Structures are given as structure tokens and as C-alpha cells.
Amino acid sequence: MRKVYYIFNPDTRTYDRVYPNFAQKFLTMLRRVLLYIIFGGISFLVFYLLIDKPSVKEFENENSQLLARYKILSSRLDKALLVMRDIQQRDDNLYRVMLDAEPLSEAVRNAGYAGTNRYDDLLKMDNAGLLVETTQKVDLLEKQLYMQIRSFDEIVALDKDAKTRLRHVPAIQPISNRDLKRTASGYGYRIDPVYNVRTFHKGMDFTCDKKTPVYATADGVVESAKWQSGYGYTVVIDHGYGYKTLYAHLLDGKFLVKPKQQVVRGEQIALSGNSGKSTGPHLHYEVLVKGRNVNPINYYFMDLDADGYDEMLRMAENHGKIYD
């Protein structure tokens, strides 16, 4: 109900009604508005400060749970990186060693993202340190996984190549010599039976009768089958992967293979003889690796067990009978 105001008139001794002007009405209204604003502000502050709103509390709880989960995730990433490290060590120290492959360098395995600003946005957030650290671990694990997959792909390829390569590595004796009785002269310095001077013997000699079958000691391609000075009738086989073998003093012209012909391990390629600089029927056999002569005794691993290897080594070191 609207208030009505009166004022006492001393002349008439009566109360006359007062009608406020516009300015008075405006001031009255302004006072009321200010009172409402002040009351409302005080009420809001009291409500905000003294009453814990559910939404704020829920947000704080969620933030706390999220932080805890980040810490758990960081811990799990540490364990995952340890497992990855173990896999890397197995890769470098076992698989790659077995396949004669170089290990991957630490720089390649742990290459990061230097020169980028990929973490700048995270630095503006709360708990920036934890966020950046966790993200860096994820990036590192992702990079290492990628490099490890590439490494395993290479290992698989090397394994396939190794199986092929093994067929091209000299691995048997060039003639049948299971009992080792045909082992004659070994690799190394010897007294030449013709010139009676100390010379280096580049291969091994096997005593045998003429026309004894001579076999290729690994898969390969015949490089030559011809007469060679000193060696007589000779076959040279290129096995690839840096390996070559030479079979000398063969039977006159009785080659069973020709140049560019592919041969497999155990295939008969010629007959033994006494051609060239030779003092009696025998087979002279050489193994070359990347153009250099090596001791053939180390390339009979498919024919000899440990005891057989020791016995042949003893016989070869005792020089035996020298034929060329």
C-alpha cells in the first residue's frame, strides 16, 4: 500500500496532505534501489563464502582424482620403459650378435623431439611439471617402440638372409674323409717338397687315389674350370657373401662342371688327379674370404664334431705328407 504523507499547518491548525515532487520521488526510489543492491550483494557474499556449493566440491574431487591417475600413469610408464630397455638389450646383445649385425646406437633408440615446442601449451596448465613429464615419457616410449619394430623387421630379414647365407658358406670337406685318414698337409708355413724352401701353404692337402670324387663345399657359381700354373687343372667356385673355394691338381681335363654353372653343396664337380706342381695324387683345397686365404680347417663344421676337429687340427699341425 502506498504511503501518504501529511504536514501540520499552524495557521489552520490542521494536517495538510503533502504531495512529493519529481526530485523527491526519484531520490526515494534511488534509495530503495541502493538498499536492494547492498542487501543482494551482502546475501550473495554470505551464500558464496559460507555455503559450500556441490558443483565446486565435485570439481575439486574430480581434479584430485585426475591428478592421482596421472601419477599412476607416470609410474606405469616408468615400468613400461624398463621392459622396453630389457627388450633393447636382448636385441643388441643376443639377436643381433647371433646374426652378426651391428647394435642400434643409443642416439638412434632414444632420439627425441629436439627443436620443437610441443610442450609449451602444457606449461600454461595447472600441475604443468607432471603433465610435461608424463607426456615426455609417452613420446619416448612411442619413439622406442617404433625403432624396436624397425629393428625386429631388420632381424627377420637378416634371419632369412642368414639361412640363405649358411648354404653359401663352405662347411664340408671336399672329399669323403670321415675317418680323417686322408688328411695330409695343413695350412701355414711348410718346406716346399719340390724347391725345398720354406713357403706358405695357402690351403690343405688331402691324400687320395686318382679319380676320387671331389665335391663342392657350399652352394655357388663356378667361376673357372681350367689349367692354372702350379695348381694344374683347377676349379674355382664363387659362393657369394665374400666366399670362394679352390680345388687344385685335378684329373687332366675331367671337369664335371663349367664356368657360370650353379652348384650346390655336396655336388660332385671333378675327380682328383696329379696335375700341376705335385709330387703325388692328392687334392689341394683353399678357402678365400673377401679375397684372402684363410685356414680351411675352420670350415668343416658340418662334417666334424669337436673331437674330429681336434684330431684334424693335430694331424694338420704335424704337417703330415706334403704334396705341393
- The predicted-structure confidence for 195-237, as pLDDT tens digits, reads as follows 677 778 889 889 888 999 999 999 999 999 999 998 999 999 9
So what's the pLDDT on residue 144? 82
Other C-beta atoms within 10 Å of 145: how many?
Answer: 13
Q: Which three cell numbers stand for residue 245?
A: 673355394
Residues 27-66, buried b or exposed e (16+ Cβ, 10 A)?
A: eeeeeeeeeeeeeeeeeeeeeeeeeeeeeeeeeeeeeeee
* DSSP 3-state of 245: strand
Beta strands per DSSP E along 217-281 = 220-228, 232-240, 243-248, 250-255, 262-263, 268-272
Spatial contact of 134 and 81, defined as CB atoms under 8 Å apart: no
pLDDT of residue 30: 72
Strand order across the 213-215 sheet: 213-215, 268-272, 250-255
The string of pLDDT tens digits covering residues 249-284 is 999 878 999 999 999 999 999 999 999 888 889 999
| pLDDT of 228 | 93
pLDDT for res 245:
97
How does pLDDT run across 103-157, given as a tens digit for each residue? 877 777 776 555 456 655 555 555 666 677 777 788 888 888 888 888 888 888 7
Could you tell me the sign of the dihedral formed by the alpha carbons of 146, 151, 154, 160, in that order? negative
**Predicted pLDDT of residue 226:** 94
Phi/psi for 295 (5° steps) reads -75, 115
What local confidence, expressed as pLDDT, does residue 293 receive? 93
Q: Is the pLDDT of residue 188 over 70?
A: yes
Kindly give the interhelix angle for 54-90 and 128-167, rounded to the nearest 10 degrees.
30
Tell me the average pLDDT of the chain. Answer: 79
Which cell is 201 given?
Answer: 701353404
Can you give the pLDDT at residue 76?
81
Q: Where are the beta strands (DSSP E) in the chain?
A: 5-9, 14-18, 188-191, 198-201, 204-207, 213-215, 220-228, 232-240, 243-248, 250-255, 262-263, 268-272, 282-289, 292-294
* Window from 9-18, 171-180, 303-312 with minimum mean pLDDT: 9-18
Mean pLDDT across 42-64: 65
One-letter amino acid identity for 292? R
79: pLDDT strictly greater than 90: no
Residue 140, amino acid: L
Q: With beta carbons less than 8 A apart as the criterion, state whether 101 and 155 touch.
A: yes
For range 79-98, the mean pLDDT: 78
